[in-house]
């Protein structure tokens, strides 16, 4: 699991701007996951080949009569407790505030590394503004400009060097399952029902997170690892800041899994929050299964399931490959059948396709629909190869990668699905530039009748 870095500080110190720069996003208010609201909670970052997660916390204030400040303060405390490193961002333009001093008192008690960065230092000539901050009793400050990037590389060099080394997880044949969803959707009930089946052998092993236990169960001779997740509540304005840490933990669980079981409350119907949670799983690239729980209390007719699936496909189009099943964790109805679906999805998720058959698929696709023009020249597909599995990931070498429109990329992915039967797993397809070789995937449309062939020979 990636180490976690929490960025804390008073309001308007520039935390979101620094978050954007470290995660290389254009704007913290821009969606990073399909279906996710614009308020960013979590970001993935890489520096010096070190991967880590970063938390953008709310502004820290100590006004007890302000309900929002109280909630944000609690969230900051939780972020600090759960982090592997903390960054206190100070405002180099407006100087020291009482909130800074209070945060420093808190941070002096933590065991993880703490970095004190002074923002809004746009160049060497502005570093004279640092003198005031030495009154805080801090030995090392990092002058940075989150907006312009000044000082950020040196700061990140020191930050990632202090992060704990993440041990490689032991290889296991167990299929890793993360059961995610809103609270009260029946997530825990489903876990308990799975572990309570007569055919299941259960054991507990320490998880990689500090506060969870992963559970290994064996069903019909196959091992499954159930990964603990935190419920992701529906976001409300007042409680919004308190949701950040629970989302962090859920996302960390999703990062470790092969398949995410997305539990929905069928009685409540499909909600926006269900779609947001599904978006997290989609971005991760894991296999996904939608579970419509509480099916026993749903008023239904012969087409209730079909209507609900249709609505789900409309709301979460990005996961139209994910299978859907209805069950009742309370009564146990259809719960055992979930393992048949898990096995099918995992088999596709771990599939590898050799280069020969794969290039035949691309040749067939290019003959059916010729690649588009780009800047007056025809796009050419040279050859394709699978670079990894879990999920199946392919790389196609072309003459102009920037000329591949997402619609043609989607067409090629659909052709892979059609010809390989990989209809229940995510598929990733990337394009890389290559100079034109002597051979390439043919894009000429072939004749379909003998008469056409004779005409061409003449």
Q: What is the pLDDT along the chain (458 residues), one digit of tens a residue?
A: 678 898 988 888 888 889 889 988 754 433 333 333 223 356 778 999 898 988 887 666 555 544 444 545 566 677 788 789 999 999 888 888 877 888 888 888 888 999 999 998 887 777 776 888 888 888 889 999 999 999 999 999 999 999 988 665 555 689 999 999 887 888 888 888 888 855 444 454 443 333 345 788 899 899 999 886 755 555 443 344 444 555 666 677 788 899 999 999 999 999 988 898 899 899 889 999 999 999 999 998 889 999 999 999 999 999 999 999 999 999 999 999 999 999 999 999 999 999 999 999 999 999 999 998 888 888 899 999 999 999 999 999 999 998 899 999 999 999 999 999 999 999 999 999 986 554 455 555 443 344 444 344 44
CA–CA distances in Å: residue 438 to residues 195, 358, 441, 442, 445: 58, 19, 11, 12, 19
- Record the pTM: 0.64
Residue with tokens 């003959």: 367
**What is the set of domains in the chain, with CATH numbers?**
4-162 (3.40.50.300), 175-349 (3.40.50.300), 355-433 (3.30.300.20)
The answer to whether 175 and 342 have CB atoms below 8 angstroms apart is yes
What residues contact 300, with CB distance under 8 A and at least 6 apart?
A: none
**Could you give the CA distance from residue 231 to residue 193 in angstroms, rounded to a whole number?**
18
Collapsing DSSP states into helix, strand and coil, what is residue 263? strand
Neighbours of 51 (CB within 10 A): 14
Q: What DSSP string runs through 216-237? A: EEEETTEEEEEEP----PPP-T
Interstrand relation of 287-293 and 259-265 (parallel, antiparallel or unpaired)? parallel
By the 8 A CB rule, do 223 and 202 touch? no
Terminal Cα-to-Cα distance of the chain (whole angstroms): 66
Q: Residue holding tokens 């964790």? A: 329
């Amino acid at each position: 699991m990636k180490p976690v870095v929490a960025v804390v500080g008073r309001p308007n110190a520039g935390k979101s701007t620094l978050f954007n720069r470290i995660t290389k996003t254009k704007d913290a208010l821009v969606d990073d996951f399909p279906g996710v609201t614009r308020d960013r909670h979590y970001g993935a970052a890489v520096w010096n080949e070190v991967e880590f997660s970063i938390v953008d916390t709310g502004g820290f204030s100590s006004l007890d009569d302000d309900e929002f400040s109280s909630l944000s303060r609690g969230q900051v405390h939780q972020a600090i407790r759960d982090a592997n490193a903390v960054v206190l961002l100070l405002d180099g333009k407006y100087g020291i505030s009482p909130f800074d001093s209070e945060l420093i008192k808190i941070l002096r008690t933590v065991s993880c590394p703490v970095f004190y960065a002074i923002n809004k230092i746009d160049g060497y000539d502005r570093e004279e503004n640092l003198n005031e901050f030495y009154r805080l009793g801090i030995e090392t400050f990092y002058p940075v400009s989150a907006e312009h990037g000044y000082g950020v590389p040196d700061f990140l060099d020191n930050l990632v060097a202090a992060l704990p080394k993440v041990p490689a997880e032991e290889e296991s044949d167990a299929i890793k399952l993360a059961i995610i969803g809103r609270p009260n959707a029946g997530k825990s009930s489903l876990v308990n029902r799975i572990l309570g089946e007569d055919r299941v052998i259960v054991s507990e092993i320490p998880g990689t997170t500090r506060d969870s236990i992963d559970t290994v169960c064996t069903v019909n001779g196959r091992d499954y690892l159930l990964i603990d997740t935190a419920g992701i509540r529906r976001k409300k304005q007042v409680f919004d800041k308190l949701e950040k840490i629970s989302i962090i933990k859920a996302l960390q669980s999703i990062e470790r899994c092969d398949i995410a079981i997305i539990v929905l409350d069928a009685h409540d119907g499909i909600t926006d929050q269900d779609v947001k949670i599904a978006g997290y799983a989609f971005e991760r690239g894991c296999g996904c299964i939608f579970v419509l729980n509480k099916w026993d209390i749903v008023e239904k007719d012969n087409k209730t399931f079909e209507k609900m699936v249709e609505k789900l496909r409309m709301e979460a189009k990005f996961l139209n490959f994910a299978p859907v099943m209805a069950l009742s964790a309370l009564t146990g109805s259809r719960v055992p059948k979930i393992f048949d679906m898990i096995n099918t999805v995992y088999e596709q998720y771990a599939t590898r396709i050799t280069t020969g058959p794969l290039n035949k698929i691309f040749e067939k696709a290019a003959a059916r629909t010729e690649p588009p023009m780009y800047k007056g020249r025809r796009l050419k597909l040279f050859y394709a190869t699978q670079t990894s599995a879990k999920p199946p990931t392919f790389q196609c070498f072309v003459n102009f990668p920037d000329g591949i429109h997402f619609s043609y990329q989607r067409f090629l992915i659909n052709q892979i699905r059609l010809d390989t039967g990989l209809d229940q797993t995510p598929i990733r397809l990337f394009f890389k530039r290559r100079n034109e070789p002597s051979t390439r995937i043919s894009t000429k449309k072939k004749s379909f009748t003998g008469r056409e062939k004779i005409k061409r020979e003449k």
